[in-house]
Amino acid sequence: MGRGRVWAAGLVTAALALSGCTGGDDNGFRPGAADAGDPYVPGAGNGGYDVGHYALDVRYDPAGDRLTGTATLTVTATRALSRFQLDLAGLDVERVRVDGEAAKHRHDGAELIVTPSGGLPSGRRFTVEVTYGGVPKPLPNAELGDGGFHATPDGAIALGQPESASTWYPVNDHPSDKATYDLAVTVPDGLAALSNGVPEGRTSSGGWTTWRWSERAPMASYLSTLVIGDYRVSSGTHAGKPLVTAVAAALPADGPAAASVARTGEVADFLAARFGPYPFEAYGGVVVADERIRYALETQSRPVYGPAFFRGDRPNTEVVAHELAHQWFGDSVSVARWSDIWLNEGFATYAEWLWAEHDGGRTVAQTVVERYAATDWSRPTVDPGRAGMFGDAVYQRGALAVHALRRAVGDEAFYRVLRGWLAQHRDGNVTTADFIGYAERTSGRPLRALLDAWLVGGTPPGLP
């Protein structure tokens, strides 16, 4: 395919900047846009404002699958607004306050439309408090699989990519609007309530326990998670930071799942030696037993793993390496648009190959030969289409492109590119064009033609 397919990604940031509002309004105030303008997730995300922080206080009763909560958002208007929208699917809103004053609100499908008592000028910092509740449900998606809040016999699992957060709290549900989080989750005594970031302790009263978590680094909303139920929770420290892992009680205490997540710190150190310092304040992982979760997801600082990765009697640390690599590629440095998801998955897959070689498995060279032979070169890595977001072109062909870059510039320059890229864009959002430009400047070599061939070319390039 033509080089223009790659460089079109460079238009993403500009396009997003223009999508904040539509239409006119009195006194210069305008309504927020219907969505963030990302065709891969139509209707998700909103323009006209930036969320800086979510303070979530939720209570979940598994007996009736009912969730109630108060979400307090700290927001900055990026242009003058007469109203704005939040993503909230399937839950009822009792009250909305903007800067402490009652605001009008209505639901339109999965959109919560809020009209404050007065207009919000561009640059204005304000708070939004939403009191809500109901029986959460996942978001049905025939192409990508259901994401969001799943009730379980003993609790719940809130998880999914590219959308999930809107099923359990009001949110600007697009990775281009990252924010910090404080979470308080109240559940019946005896159940664990696991989420992102640093554990801030728990308290019990009247048969209920409140678990508190804090994610102090900006986080894309799809990376937030909530796992409630009967889990064996292990808490400790690694490299001076809290390390919290949990394995569903339904899985063997001495089985492959427990053995795999027990190596989380070791795998993270291996990756840090190549990518630079671990980017967050906590480590961890959660293994669920629910067969509906047929994937693992890099939920920030605490990946969640489905049970299928731990069949048999042998640990699977390759999936741990993949999800931990995402803490750098995808979590700390996030895509500005889903069409560039290879920047997450291609690098995480390559990290998986690196770890396998280090841990006594197949060499990277062996894996490259095998994946190269199996690649369908008609399927592009960049802008693979919504249905292809999680296809082999994104993961395997993307990783082959990473290896081709390594072979072209040599190991010293390759790792210098990766570490510099991650340091420069930490906590930010990026595009494919951003990466290729950075790699060229840092390595001092022209790389556009090479990466164009590996990422979107229709014929097999020479094996590196």
pLDDT tens for residues 321-366? Answer: 999 999 999 999 999 999 999 999 999 999 999 999 999 999 999 9
For residue 13, pLDDT over 70 is answered with no
Q: Cβ-count burial of 204 within 10 angstroms (0-12 exposed, 13-18 middle, 19+ buried)?
A: exposed
The lowest-confidence range among 23-27, 157-161, 199-203, 353-357 is 23-27
> How many other CB atoms sit within 10 Å of the CB of residue 331?
28
Q: Give 122's contacts (C-beta < 8 A, 6+ positions apart).
A: 77, 78, 79, 80
- Note whether 173 and 145 are within 8 A (CB): no
- Check residue 34 and give its pLDDT: 53
Look at the alpha carbons of 365, 367, 370, 374 in this order and tell me if their dihedral is positive or negative: negative
For residue 85, pLDDT over 50 is answered with yes
Q: Which of 304, 305, 241, 308 is CA-nearest to residue 268?
A: 241
Output b/e per residue, 69-106; b: 16+ Cβ within 10 A.
Answer: bbbbbbbebbbbbbbbbbbbbbbebeebbbeeeebebe
Residue type, 386: R
pLDDT category at 24 given cuts 50, 70, 90 is: very low
pLDDT category at 15 given cuts 50, 70, 90 is: very low
The residue behind tokens 């980017």 is 279
- Note whether 187 and 60 are within 8 A (CB): yes
- Check residue 172 and give its pLDDT: 97
pLDDT (tens digit per residue) in 215-235: 999 999 999 999 999 999 999
Q: How far apart are CA 36 and CA 191, in angstroms?
A: 37
- Check residue 141 and give its pLDDT: 79
- For the chain, the C-alpha Rg in angstroms (whole number) is 22
Mean of the per-residue pLDDT values of the chain = 92
For residue 80, pLDDT over 60 is answered with yes
Tokens of 123: 């640059």
Greater pLDDT, 329 or 22: 329
Q: Is the pTM of this model over 0.95?
A: no
Residues 29-50 have a mean pLDDT of: 78
Q: How far apart are CA 136 and CA 222, in angstroms?
A: 16
- Check residue 397 and give its pLDDT: 98
pLDDT (tens digit per residue) in 231-263: 999 999 999 999 999 999 999 999 999 999 999
- Check residue 142 and give its pLDDT: 66
pLDDT category at 2 given cuts 50, 70, 90 is: very low
pLDDT (tens digit per residue) in 119-150: 999 999 999 999 999 999 999 876 767 889 99
pLDDT (tens digit per residue) in 384-431: 999 999 999 999 999 999 999 999 999 999 999 999 999 999 999 999
- Check residue 464 and give its pLDDT: 79
Residues 283-305 have a mean pLDDT of: 97
pLDDT category at 10 given cuts 50, 70, 90 is: very low
Q: How far apart are CA 234 and CA 249, in angstroms?
A: 12
